[in-house]
Amino acid sequence: MGVVHGQEMVLNIGPQHPATHGVLRLQVKTDGEVVSEITPYLGYLHRCFEKHCENVTYEQVIPYTDRCDYLASMTNNFGYVVAVEALMDIKVNDRVEHIRVIMAELQRIASHLLGLGAFGLDVGAFTPFLHMLRDRERILDLFEMTCGARLLYNYMWVGGLSHDLPVGFVESTYNFLDYFEPKIDEFVNLLVHNKIFVERTADIGRMPQEVAVSYGVTGPNLRASGVKWDLRKNDPYSIYKSFEFDVPVGEGGKGSVGDCWDRFYVRVLEMKESIKILRQALASLPKEGDIHQSIPKKIRPPKGTIYKRTESPRGDLGYYIESDGTNIPYRLKMRSPAFTALSVIDEIAAGWLLSDVLAILGSLDIVLGEIDR
Amino acid sequence: MTVDFIFDLLNQFLPGFSGNGFLLLFAMLIPCLILFGFIAVYALVVIYAELKVSSFIQDKVGPMGQGFGFHAGKWGLLQPVADALKLLTKEDIIPGSANRVLFIMAPFMIFIGAFVSFVAIPFGESIIVADLNIGIFYILGVGSLAVIALILAGWSSNNKWSLYGAMRSAAQIVSYEIPAGISLITVIIITGSLNMQEIIAYQQGGIFNWILFDNPFIPVAFVIYFISALAETNRTPFDLPESESELVAGFVTEYSGMRYAFFFLSEYANMFVVSAVAATGFLGGWQSPISGYLDSPGWSVFWMMSKIAFLIFIMIWIRWTVPRLRVDQLMNVCWKVFLPIGLINIFGVAIWTVLLGS
């Protein structure tokens, strides 16, 4: 097919656009429907997270971490408290560790549900989005039972948790898992094997392994490109070592490895793995244990620095903390997985059609709260 | 036919004005006003149906209310009325850089295109506004008027999203008229007439005399026609001109209030027209599915409406189930799949009719 070049048109997708998942502006150069260049413009949601952290005490940072990745607040809390605990050399008891893992995995399912639903919305499927939000609601109900909040939890504290599990939580979670496991197959039938959906996503926006690695893309996006890299396995934190689960990688089931379809399907498989972890964690949850046992009276980490990374639903979430011995962090840097995922968009989406660019953006599952911080 | 009937009636009741040209004008206006009222009521019903069907598909309750207070009425029945009132009372915004004349003209053009198709739709043996001898051809022809209106809307808005939507819709609707027309040619080959009433008369005598079951090629033509009709009415999976997650709202991005409502109304009116053509051409029109059973004029309206309602329900069902196609895939489906199959189908039907036809 010969290529016909017309006049180029610069198009601003965003900041107010239904497919940008927040306030992101993509400046695209288009020739008809073909997009030749994509420049993301950030900062519409910048809240000076890192500067704030230099002015508040260690425990006051936790609510700010909630607001970074507001779709996965639990895992953001988790990463931060793990880092501070490592800096202060605190060991928390087994019950706390189990509850943290349960919360993190529930959050992973909730986050993936919203990410997948929004991706479906980007390619025009409205119904799966609402089905997924319906099931996400049930997870939010579980969180509400536990700590009263549905979106921003401030649940994990340095050395412990804000609340113990309420009566009936374990049964409710089992009920949810029993309800949710068959639902995953329903989503798979509704969307993953849908002919139109496959046409729209297979072979689109392929992210080769080298590109993913060199840009520092992590999480499901990296795994979809065929790299078996999951911090829960490769650099285990908390008690993830004691659980049996697989790390699903993209295999190019409908197209080639690392396409939009793989990025979708890897997340579906990850939800199944999270269910596996949840069942094991609920079965081995210790009955005894004070969740406030290891909370220090004053959080004054010794002088020094630490970089600790955890696996958030979006990838390697790293916290770099420099302590000068006071109760306020001297410097706190957050490595955001969504930021690196967005940085790769020009590399993988240039040359595709306008509709594909938005599908690719949806498949990366970015959260602007975390990118802009 | 109906116009003549009303004209005669007026002549009888107003003998003083007998034969006056004004009476002829009234005789033309009355059915038009009835049709206009019908479209308005139909739009309210189908909007409610769309809300409720989508709600059941998406596992939610949709509009709900208690009694006739300030809520949306019992079961949310008044929701479409509230929607219409909201659109009526909204501020009418015309962007400063828009081409005012074309911008104002576009919604009327698109509505005229949908409205004039209604005059040739038969609801019963004598319930038709204008029994044209080229009825089916006329509906296809005036249906094309929508393309001009969409391009006008997209171009005059002076908005990049609108322009994208207009360009997509022009390509899409012009392309899909060809498979739609080709599949209707098979019907014309069988019946030997372009007249809507004669096409229906051919299908007299129960469900197995419907053209859909006339020969093995026709179901294929029906499927092609129905999918092309989805594309012509900009319904999912072919709603690229207004794909809300890509082009914000496509060609209606800059429209608000009543002008927006006209685009909305004509989309639903177009759904009705294409369903009516499908019902007439393939499903026996206003004929009862069982020969001689419930085929009085009143029931003929019922049969026609229920066939149309069934097809519209399928359209709504499809809309809330499948994702959207990409623009090049849309063209591929039209030119590389439907067109060859449709052409082969014409040969098949023609040979079948010559060899085995009556």
State the burial class of residue A167 (Cβ atoms within 10 Å of its Cβ: 0-12, 13-18, 19+): exposed
pLDDT at B152: 87
Cα B103 from chain centre = 23
Q: pLDDT tens across A274-303, in order?
A: 999 999 999 988 888 788 888 888 888 888
Give which of B55, B318, B324, B327 to mutate to test A binding, by max A Cβ within 10 Å: B324
Is residue A228 in some structural domain?
yes
The CA-atom distances, in angstroms, between B326 and each of A82, A199, B189, B231 are: 45, 9, 34, 13
Q: Residue type at A150?
A: R
Q: pLDDT tens across A112-128, in order?
A: 999 888 888 888 888 88
Is residue A331 in some structural domain?
yes
Q: Show which of residues 104-163 on chain B sit within 8 Å of chain A, judged by CB atoms.
A: 160
Percentage of the residues of chain A whose pLDDT score is greater than 70: 98
Rounded distance between C-alpha atoms, residue A66 and residue A43, angstroms? 18
Centre a 10 Å sphere on the Cβ of residue A303 and count the other Cβ atoms it contains: 11
Looking at per-residue pLDDT, the higher value among B66 and B305 belongs to B305
- How many residues can be counted in chain B? 358
Rounded distance between C-alpha atoms, residue B222 and residue B349, angstroms? 13
Query: Is the pLDDT reported for residue A237 higher than 80?
Result: yes
Centre a 10 Å sphere on the Cβ of residue A5 and count the other Cβ atoms it contains: 9
Query: Is the pLDDT reported for residue B56 higher than 80?
Result: yes
Q: pLDDT tens across A242-277, in order?
A: 888 888 888 877 878 888 888 888 999 999 999 999
Q: Which of A130, A200, A356 sits opposite B59 (nearest CB)?
A: A130
pLDDT grade for B358, boundaries at 50, 70 and 90:
low
Query: Is the pLDDT reported for residue A1 higher than 50?
Result: no
Looking at per-residue pLDDT, the higher value among B271 and B32 belongs to B271
pLDDT grade for B72, boundaries at 50, 70 and 90:
low
Is residue A3 in some structural domain?
no
Cβ of B329 under 8 Å from any chain A Cβ? yes
Q: Do A131 and B246 touch (CB under 8 A)?
A: no
Burial B121-136 (b: 16+ CB within 10 A, else e): bbbbeebbbbbbeebb
Query: Highest mean pLDDT range out of A134-143, A227-236, A290-299, B62-71?
Result: A134-143
pLDDT grade for A109, boundaries at 50, 70 and 90:
very high
Question: Is the CB of residue A61 less than 8 Å from the CB of residue A358?
Answer: no
CB contacts, 8 Å: A358 with chain B: 245-246
CB contacts, 8 Å: B241 with chain A: none
CB contacts, 8 Å: A18 with chain B: 244-245, 248
Is residue A364 in some structural domain?
no
Using alpha carbons, select from A356, A317, A357 the residue that is nearest to residue A333: A317
The CA-atom distances, in angstroms, between A230 and each of A42, A81, A312, A319 are: 27, 19, 10, 17
CB contacts, 8 Å: B332 with chain A: none
CB contacts, 8 Å: B240 with chain A: 355
Q: Do A33 and B324 touch (CB under 8 A)?
A: no
pLDDT at B87: 85
SS (H, E, C) B276-344: HHHHHHHCCCCCCCCCCCCCCHHHHHHHHHHHHHHHHHHHHHHHCCCCCCCHHHHHHHHHHHHHHHHHH
User: What is the domain-level CATH number for residue A300?
Assistant: 1.10.645.10
Among chain A residues, the shortest Cα distance to B163 is held by A32
Q: pLDDT tens across A135-168, in order?
A: 999 999 999 988 888 888 888 888 888 888 888 8
In degrees to the nearest 10, what's the CA dihedral of B187, B193, B197, B203? -50
Q: Do B323 and A353 touch (CB under 8 A)?
A: no
Cβ of B322 under 8 Å from any chain A Cβ? yes
Percentage of the residues of chain A whose pLDDT score is greater than 90: 9
Cβ of B321 under 8 Å from any chain A Cβ? yes
Determine phi and psi for A317, rounding to 5 degrees. -105, 110
Q: How many CB pairs under 8 A join A and B?
A: 75
Is residue A240 in some structural domain?
yes
Query: Is the pLDDT reported for residue B215 higher than 70?
Result: yes
Query: Is the pLDDT reported for residue A321 higher than 80?
Result: yes
DSSP state of A353: B
Query: Is the pLDDT reported for residue B66 higher than 70?
Result: no
Rounded distance between C-alpha atoms, residue A76 and residue A45, angstroms? 18
ipTM tops 0.90: no
SS (H, E, C) B98-129: CCHHHHHHHHHHHHHHHHHHHHHCCCCCCCCC
Is residue A58 in some structural domain?
yes
pLDDT at B341: 92
The total domain count for chain A is: 1
Distance from CA of A14 to the nearest CA of B (A): 10
Rounded distance between C-alpha atoms, residue B132 and residue B122, angstroms? 10
Q: Do A354 and B245 touch (CB under 8 A)?
A: no
pLDDT at B71: 64
A63: domain range?
52-335
pLDDT at B133: 84
pLDDT grade for A199, boundaries at 50, 70 and 90:
confident
Query: Is the pLDDT reported for residue B226 higher than 60?
Result: yes
CB contacts, 8 Å: A202 with chain B: none
Rounded distance between C-alpha atoms, residue B42 and residue B306, angstroms? 13
Q: Do A200 and B323 touch (CB under 8 A)?
A: yes
Determine the average pLDDT of the residues in B216-232. 89
Q: Do A131 and B58 touch (CB under 8 A)?
A: yes
Q: Residue type at A170?
A: V
Determine the average pLDDT of the residues in B293-312. 85
Is residue A1 in some structural domain?
no
Q: Do B236 and A124 touch (CB under 8 A)?
A: yes
Among chain A residues, the shortest Cα distance to B167 is held by A32
Lowest mean pLDDT among A367-371, B18-22, B278-282, B349-353: B18-22
Q: Do A354 and B246 touch (CB under 8 A)?
A: yes
Question: Is the CB of residue A304 less than 8 Å from the CB of residue A323?
Answer: yes
